[in-house]
Structure 1
Amino acid sequence: MTDCTGSNTPADQRDLWRTPPAIFFALDAEFCFQLDAAAALHNALCRKFITAAQNTLETPWADYLNVPGYVWMNPPYSDITPFVKKAAAESANRIGTVMLVPADTSVGWFWEAIQTASVVRFITAGRLAFINPVTGKPVSGNNKGSLLLIWKPYPRTHCEFTTVDRDTLMAYGNSRLARREAA
C-alpha cells in the first residue's frame, strides 16, 4: 500500500504497509495484472506501475496497459473513496481493477463501490499481515479483515458477493512464489 498523496506523517504510516506477496501472486494467477496503480519504486508488484508523483487519480491507466486488462491496487486506507471512484471510471474504459481494502461494509466508499463493482470477495478465516515498509516483516495485529473489490473490464450486470479462505489464498500464492524463486 502506498501513500499516493505523498504524505508520510505518523498518522498515515499504515498507508505505507505493503501487500503480502503471497496474496498478490495468488491473485495475479487469476487476473494477470499489467499495472500496479498505487506503488513506489521500492514496492511495485508489476513491471508497470504508477507512483505518488505520477498521481494515479489523474493518470489515464490505459497509457500503461493493453485494454482490456487488469490493474492491481492496494490504496492508502486513510482515504479509499477517490480510488474507488477512479476504478469505477476506468472500468468504463475496459480496464478491470482488483482492489485490496479493509472489510468494512459500514463506510461510504463500500456503498459506492458496490454500485459499480462486479464482485466483492471477502477474505475469510483470518486477517492479513501486511508488510512493514521499513523492516520488511509482516505486521501482526491488523484490526480488520480484508476484502477485494473487483471491477471487470466489461459491462457490469450485477455485483456478486463471494468469499475466499485466507490460508488457501496464501498457500497458493506461496507455491507460486516458490516456483518463481526456483526458476
Structure 2
Amino acid sequence: MLIRNTPKSFKDRWRTPIDIFKTLDAEFGFKLDAAADESNALCKTFLTEQQDALTCDWNSEGAIFCNPPYSKIMPWVNKASEQYRKQNQTIVMLLPSDTSTAWFYEALKTSDKVRFITEGRLLFISAETGKRGKAGNSKGSVLFIWRPWRRLGCRMTYVQRKELLKRA
C-alpha cells in the first residue's frame, strides 16, 4: 500500500489491520506470514526481507498469509501460485483491487477464489508511526485464495468491510 506522504523506506511496510487479520485467521488458521518483519509480523512464524520469501520455500504447518509489498506484486503472485502446490497449503494474499493489471489476471488464472472487500477501504497500519492510516488508500482491497484442492476455474465472491471488522 502506498501513501503519497510516506517516506520511501516505509512505503512497502504497511501492516494489515489486526482486526481484519483476526477475522481471516479465524477462518483459515494461519501459521506463516510470508511477507513480514519483526515489527509487523502477524503470525508466530514469518519470513523477513532478509530471508527473501521470493526465493525460499514457504514451509508451513498450516495456511499462509501474505500482504506483500505493493510496489512489485507480480513476483508474489507467481510465488503463491508455485507454493500452494508445493506446500500443499492454502495461501491467502491481500492485494489492492486493480483489475487492470497483469498480476491481477495472473492471480485469477492460478487462484481458487477471489474475494472482493466491498463498501469501504481498509485502513492499514503505518510502519512509520504504528497508527492506522486516516486516508490515502487509493484502491479497495481483494483477497486471492489459493487452495491445494483447487477446482477448475476461479470463483469470485465478496465480503463487506464491516463484516470483516464485526467478526474479529
TM-score by length of 1: 0.84
- Counterpart-to-counterpart distance in 2, 1:95 and 1:31: 10
Equivalent residue, structure 1, for 2:69? 76
Cα RMSD (Å) of the superposition? Answer: 1.5
Picking from 104, 119, 123, the partner of 1:125 is 119
Contact 2:115 2:159 in 1 (8 A): yes
Count matched residues: 162
Contact 1:75 1:100 in 2 (8 A): yes
Mean CA deviation greater in 150-159 or 16-25: 150-159
- Percentage identity across aligned positions? 49
Segments of 4+ in structure 1 off by > 6 A? none
- Counterpart-to-counterpart distance in 2, 1:18 and 1:134: 10
Structure 2 vs 1, CA of residues 77 and 86 (structure 1 numbering), >3 Å: closer, same or farther?
A: same
Picking from 146, 151, 154, the partner of 1:156 is 151
Equivalent residue, structure 2, for 1:181? none
Contact 1:91 1:154 in 2 (8 A): no
Give the drift of 1:59: 1.1
| Amino acid corresponding to residue 70 of structure 1 in structure 2 | A
- Counterpart-to-counterpart distance in 2, 1:11 and 1:156: 40
| Amino acid corresponding to residue 132 of structure 1 in structure 2 | S
Structure 2: where are the runs of 5+ without partners?
Answer: none
- Counterpart-to-counterpart distance in 2, 1:90 and 1:36: 13
Contact 2:10 2:127 in 1 (8 A): no
Contact 1:117 1:156 in 2 (8 A): no
1:79-138 superposed Cα distances (whole Å, 9 cap, x missing partner): 000000000001222122100000000000000001100011000000000001122111
| Amino acid corresponding to residue 111 of structure 1 in structure 2 | Y
Structure 2 vs 1, CA of residues 12 and 114 (structure 1 numbering), >3 Å: closer, same or farther?
A: farther
Give the drift of 1:140: 2.0
Give the drift of 1:12: 6.2
Equivalent residue, structure 1, for 2:7? 10
